[in-house]
Amino acid sequence: MEIEKLTRMKGNQKVTMLTAYDYQTAKILDEAGIDMILVGDSLGNVILGYEGTKQVTMSDMERHISAVARGVKHAHIIGDMPIASYDNKVDALKNSKRLIAAGAHSVKLEGLNSDVIKALISSGIPVMGHLGLLPQTAIDLKVKGKKREEAERIYADALELDKLGVYGIVLECIPVALSQKITNGVKSLTIGIGAGVDCDGQVLVVNDMLGMLQDHKPKHVKLYANLHDIIKNAAQSYIDEVKAKTFPTDEYSFH
């Protein structure tokens, strides 16, 4: 989906976004009609088994963006810029071009780095910002912007990102009142995750909303399925049948 069409949805229609990291999941989400797919550095946690996002590399992002791109016909694909890939303008431009070449339509980066964002946009690379809880640099994974000073800083950063020309801003784990204020104060799309219903759109980690991860469920995640138990039960049934010699039957055999 083109950015112009997405931005016209502000104030008219909610924008939907989910993460995806592989061909099959991306294909299913695209067929379902999702507006945007984020190939997030959250793949470190949910796909690669890292403790967080800090170990994710550019090569990781390129590989997974390429897989997602092969499954998508309609959705807008966003490539997450991994930590340390946009510390300066030169690196940011080089690495963002790598993600675009891999199949992303735009890139997302955390925080306010005006020089880097300005350089990317002036080079024709669409940028989505990310404010509030910033997993790449956060010391603790808590709600941000509850205190007035912090809320004012997040709001000011949102206005600056908007002026720089980002087409959207992810607002992660901030109070509803603050996300509403930001949404009303910027031309950019606001995409919430733990930021309330007033944002222009919403995003969730697909593995979270499908119930694949059982060890931790954030407050902002609604379970739309319980694939953990479905997959586990299916695997256990398979194990039982193979050991009992009831699979494969003649129906599944060749003669």
Residue 216 or 33, more confident: 33
pLDDT 10s digits, 86-102: 999 999 999 999 999 99
Helix or strand or coil: residue 47?
coil
pLDDT 10s digits, 26-75: 999 999 999 999 999 999 999 999 988 999 999 999 999 999 999 999 99
Helix or strand or coil: residue 108?
strand
55 is written with which tokens? 């170990």
Helix H or strand E segment including 202: strand 201-204
- By C-alpha distance, which of 45, 201, 47 is closest to 128? 201
Whole-model pTM: value is 0.96
151 is written with which tokens? 């809320």
Residue 155 or 138, more confident: 155
Nearest-5° Cα angle at 136, 131 to 140: 85
Cα 222 to Cα 18: distance, rounded to the nearest angstrom: 13
Domains of the chain: 3-224 (3.20.20.60), 226-255 (no CATH)
Residue 249: predicted pLDDT: 96
**pLDDT classification of 220: cutoffs 50, 70, 90:** very high
pLDDT 10s digits, 173-201: 999 999 999 999 999 999 999 999 999 99
Cα 115 to Cα 124: distance, rounded to the nearest angstrom: 15
Cα 196 to Cα 201: distance, rounded to the nearest angstrom: 10
**pLDDT classification of 168: cutoffs 50, 70, 90:** very high
Report the chain's mean pLDDT, rounded to a whole number. Answer: 96
Which stretches of 24-114 are assigned E, i.e. beta strand? Answer: 36-39, 76-80, 106-108
The residues assigned a catalytic role are: 172
